[in-house]
Amino acid sequence: MLDDDALDGLLQRVVVLALHTVATAHSVSITVVDNGRYRTCNATADEAVAIDDAQYERDEGPCLHALRTAVQVQITVEAEMARWPVFAEKAREMGIASVLSTPLVMNPGEAIGALNIYARDDGGFPEHDIRTATVLGEHAAILVGNALALIGATHLNEQLRVALASREIIGEAKGIIMERQSCTRDEAFDILRRASQRENRKLRDLAEELVTRVEARRRDTPPGK
């Protein structure tokens, strides 16, 4: 399975390829949705990131429109001054006159990102550039989907690791209580649970404190004592 760095490298190749194969392109970026927030995961220039950020800040602009509608968007900056003024002002500041945003579609009608191509020419994008962007968007959609799946799997693995660690430390604490109180596992757990409620602390934190205290005492106690 590809790791996060490898996927990032492949996505960077996509934006660089778009820059070199779309004749009118001056800079290229990829917008993705990550935990409900928009971010630029890859770009060929800081100007693309700055224009993207202006759109995220106001929650509007061609790349977000393409992402939300799952429809390719081609605009000239001057024509959108009234509709998206913050985006348009930033684009003009960066010398950008035209934008082509291609949605990264995984399922029909549902986009997980957008491939954004920024051009200095205000004449728009010829048909062959639009077709090239569409093909690159299809490949980028697969890569972004894999990247988001990897992030989700990594997060799930971390949750499982924490859960297993908690289960282990609580088990050790129960063993200590069973030895001290001469009680069953269920009774030991109930003692921990009541202490957790009484002190308004997490069960795992109490268990870890008990185990740490016992381990420290054993280290400090000379053999045979």
Name residues whose C-beta falls within 8 Å of residue 81's C-beta, 6 or more positions apart in sequence.
Answer: 88, 89
169 neighbors 212 (Cβ within 8 angstroms): no
What backbone phi and psi angles, to 5 degrees, belong to 38?
Answer: -90, 140
CATH number of 156-220: 1.10.10.10
Check residues 94 and 193 and name the one with the higher pLDDT.
Answer: 94
Read off the pLDDT of residues 118-168 as tens digits, 9 standing for 90 and up.
999 988 899 999 999 999 988 888 877 766 666 555 554 455 456 556 778
DSSP state of 45: S
pLDDT the model gives residue 99: 97
Read off the pLDDT of residues 48-106 as tens digits, 9 standing for 90 and up.
999 999 999 999 999 999 999 999 999 999 999 999 999 999 999 999 999 999 998 87
pTM of the model: 0.64
> At 1, is the pLDDT very low, low, confident or very high (cuts 50, 70, 90)?
very low
pLDDT the model gives residue 26: 95
CB-based burial label for 195 (10 Å; 0-12, 13-18, 19+): middle
Per-domain boundaries in the chain: 4-154, 156-220
**Domain 4-154: CATH superfamily, name plus number:** GAF domain (3.30.450.40)
